[in-house]
């Protein structure tokens, strides 16, 4: 019996006309449970010879195949309500698939992502071939590698083998997806904005404000965000910047859409609810903070309880103060709660002499 719900896990792989930002799909393969979907795709442009040399798909093979617009409904139906997965799909395959879906006027669904490359990097930083052989005990078939169907099946087989070597891995797919994510996750293909463990909102990974949160940059130099919208950033990044400046609610929804499992957009959402004194949202926040053990959510729950003069405020504050919070504002957060609730700072453990 599989350790995870394979009927919810869609492992997919694309073969394309190249690695350029405007490359086109020439083959798509997906597995979901025992179902397999595969199709060659007419890209509408010639396939470069150097690309054919890798995946062995020629112009003649795709000449009479459907265009992506002809199969988009099948693709969207297959991935509905799934956790989207594959090997190293976050940086290439998913952006390409999303662009192709949106190019034919359809909406790409907001889906959790479990990237097997990221999960493998957590456990053993190696390639797909190493991943497969290490977890199955079999070498990959070099003659079949770079066939989309073969790569999907190899990825799934290696994935299931991980649970034998690492029985402590989470078996709930959303939890496993969060576990696999690296400390820095790009928001948009141009990687101007990223999620990091030490901020509760998008921060810059490039430019003179590298490491700064979006709010801090807007406070320091609002014109910088206007400049970013004018350069050759990707559409997702430009949209997030635009919504940040014009519509707070839609801004948070856009962040949730890009990364449905991230807790930072939930933090921003609850921060807005706190300003509105939405006590139903407060109860949800306390429950989510307890479930996830997330320090930022725990702090917000304690701060909200303090503001609302809830009797559980001190208990929530002490729960937060016992956590290891990586946020850049950890000192301000701790000092605020200690001061308002008169909580003494814990004495440091004495250092014993060797």
CATH number at residue 84: 3.30.420.10
pLDDT of residue 75: 98
Q: In whole angstroms, give the CA distance from residue 194 to residue 215.
A: 14
Q: Stretch 13-30: mean pLDDT, rounded? A: 93
Q: Does residue 149 form part of some domain?
A: yes
Task: Give the pLDDT confidence score for residue 141 in this predicted structure.
Answer: 84
pLDDT-based confidence at residue 1 (cuts at 50, 70, 90): low
The two beta strands, 113-115 and 185-187, are unpaired
Domain residues for the domain of 138 are: 9-180
E-strand ranges in 41-163 read 83-86, 113-115
Cα distance between residue 15 and residue 28, in whole Å: 7
Q: Which has the closest alpha carbon to 72: 106, 35, 44? A: 106
CA dist., res. 224 & res. 53, Å (int)? 44
| Mean pLDDT of all residues in 130-137 | 92
Q: For 202, left (φ over 0), alpha (ψ -120 to 50), or beta?
A: beta
- Among 35-44, 227-236, 297-306, 341-350, whose mean pLDDT is lowest? 341-350
Last residue of a domain, one of 155, 180, 205: 180
Share of the chain above pLDDT 90, in %: 80
Q: Give the span between the Cα atoms of 299 and 325, in whole angstroms.
A: 9
**Six-digit token pair at 97?**
């698939």
Greatest CA separation for the chain: 78
pLDDT at 96 over 90: yes
Q: What pLDDT is recorded for position 127?
A: 84
Q: Please state the domain count of the chain.
A: 3
Query: How do residues 180-201 score in pLDDT, each as one tens digit?
Result: 988 889 998 888 999 998 999 9
Determine, yes or no, domain membership for 189: no
108-130: per-residue pLDDT in tens? Answer: 999 999 999 999 988 887 888 89
pLDDT, tens digit, 9 for 90 and up, residues 66-84: 999 999 999 999 999 999 9
User: Is the confidence at residue 144, as pLDDT, over 90?
Assistant: no
Residue 157 Cα distances to 8, 124, 348, angstroms: 16, 16, 49
Give me the phi and psi of 135, to 5 degrees please: -100, -10
Is 92 within the bounds of a domain? yes
Identify whether residues 317 and 334 lie together within a single domain. Answer: yes
Check pLDDT > 70 for residue 217. Answer: yes
Reported as type and span, the H/E element at residue 103 is: helix 94-103
Query: In 3-state terms, what secondary structure has residue 181?
Result: coil
Burial environment of residue 134 by CB neighbours within 10 A (0 to 12, 13 to 18, 19 or more)? middle
CB atoms within 10 A of CB 258: 20
Task: Average the pLDDT over 240-250 and give the result.
Answer: 95
């Amino acid at each position: 019996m599989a350790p995870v719900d394979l009927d919810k896990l869609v492992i997919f792989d694309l073969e394309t006309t190249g690695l350029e930002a405007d490359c086109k799909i020439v083959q798509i393969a997906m597995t979901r449970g025992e179902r397999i979907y595969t199709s060659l795709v007419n890209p509408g442009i010639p396939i470069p010879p150097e690309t054919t040399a890798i995946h062995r798909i020629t112009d003649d093979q795709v000449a009479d195949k459907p265009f992506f617009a002809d199969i988009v409904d099948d693709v969207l139906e297959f991935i509905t309500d799934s956790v989207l997965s594959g090997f190293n799909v976050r940086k290439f395959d998913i952006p390409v698939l999303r662009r192709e879906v949106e190019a034919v006027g359809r909406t790409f669904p907001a889906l959790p992502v479990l990237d097997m490359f990221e999960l493998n990097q957590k456990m053993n930083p190696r390639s797909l071939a190493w991943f497969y052989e290490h977890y199955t005990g079999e070498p990959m078939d070099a003659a079949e590698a770079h066939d989309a169907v073969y790569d999907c099946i190899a990825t799934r087989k290696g994935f299931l083998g991980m649970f034998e070597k690492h029985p402590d891995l989470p078996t709930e797919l959303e939890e496993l997806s969060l576990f696999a994510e690296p400390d820095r996750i790009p928001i948009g293909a141009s990687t101007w904005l990223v999620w990091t463990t030490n901020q509760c909102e998008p921060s810059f990974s490039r430019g003179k404000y590298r490491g700064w949160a979006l709010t801090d940059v807007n406070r320091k130099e609002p014109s910088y965000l206007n400049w970013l919208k004018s350069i050759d950033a990707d559409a997702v990044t430009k949209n997030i910047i635009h919504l940040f400046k014009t519509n707070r609610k839609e801004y948070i929804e856009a962040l949730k859409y890009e990364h449905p499992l991230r807790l930072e957009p939930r933090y921003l959402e609850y921060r807005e609810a706190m300003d509105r004194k939405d006590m139903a949202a407060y109860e949800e926040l306390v429950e989510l903070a307890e479930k996830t053990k997330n320090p930022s959510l725990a702090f917000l729950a304690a701060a909200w309880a303090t503001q609302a003069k809830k009797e559980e405020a001190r208990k929530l504050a002490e729960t937060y103060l016992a956590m290891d919070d990586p946020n850049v504002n950890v000192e301000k957060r701790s000092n605020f709660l200690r001061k308002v609730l008169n909580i003494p700072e814990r004495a440091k453990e004495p250092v014993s002499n060797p």
